[in-house]
Amino acid sequence: MHDVVVYLSSLNKQEPGRKVDTLMAFAEGARRVGARVHVETKYIHRPAKLAVILGWPSPIQTTLNIKFRAEVVDKQRQSRNHVMSIDANCFKFADHDNKYLRYSINGVFYDTSEYANKNSDSSRWNQLSRDLKLDLNPWKLQGEHILMLIQRDGGWAMKGINPVQWAKQKISEIRRYTTLPIVLRPHPGKIADLRPIVVEGTRISDSINVSIADDLRRASTAFVFNSSSGVASIMSGVPLWVDDPSSVCWDVANKDISKICSPQFFDRQQWLNDLSACHWTDEESRQGVVYNKFLPYLS
């Protein structure tokens, strides 16, 4: 049995580019530190202590590679072995070139997966802060509107919930406590049709041409189900409400919507240290740093 199988077949297209480079960097790094590594290009599961895929299976499995991701996860679990997911940077609002990516094993949900990041010191945050020019802004005490961060339909983070229906329900809940204008920000990668849920006092942001930083600049509060876009809100000092306990923002987010006019302001430093410690560059992966970090969890 291999120590590591890296699945290029977890990609929709195995074309030269960043996604292939990222997976191959991990394969090279694992070999560098002594692992027996196989790179798989076909839809064939190979027994291994660690299977490495890009992304994660979504509830809506439409393409062959997404269906194959689910097969890999299921078979690894059945054999009591492990799966590593390489996924998007939680600080991607500042990392436009995707220099850093997020690594976890046996899942992607922050409350049930292993990110090997608990009680991290500030060294990783200091590195990301320098590289990405990130700042942690003071909490805001007021603003002009409520920002709703709408996710794309079909992604794993929504857990099968329709994002437009989620937003419609959330608008109804918010209106029980405040008449402040509501701005709906669609996911810029997959624009949902939000027009049917626009009512008086709400409008849709042009998320293609208006940055999330601009929408947050005038926001008093923000709402999200479970998306890394919530990290931008927390970093901007905009109090965030989160619905899903699996969110990376759960520990520093409000949950009780009745407190929308008097949010809780959390100490964010340890949260920031831990979240930063999930993120690595391809070069660090190529050196074997990421594999070594997770090695103690692969027994």
Provide CB contacts within 8 A for 60, sequence distance 6+.
153, 154, 160
145-267: CATH topology is Rossmann fold (3.40.50)
For residue range 82-127, list pLDDT tens digits in order.
999 999 999 999 998 899 999 999 999 999 999 999 999 999 999 9
Q: Is the pTM of this model over 0.85?
A: yes
pLDDT at 278: 97
62 has pLDDT over 80 = no
Instruction: Say whether 145-267 and 2-119+276-297 share the same fold.
Output: yes
61 has pLDDT over 80 = no
191 has pLDDT over 80 = no
Domain boundaries, the chain: 2-119+276-297, 145-267
**Span 2-119+276-297 CATH architecture:** 3-Layer(aba) Sandwich (3.40)
d(CA 148, CA 142): 16
Compute the average pLDDT of residues 195-217.
92
d(CA 165, CA 257): 17
pLDDT-derived band at 178, boundaries 50, 70, 90: very high
145 CB-side CA count, 13 A:
19
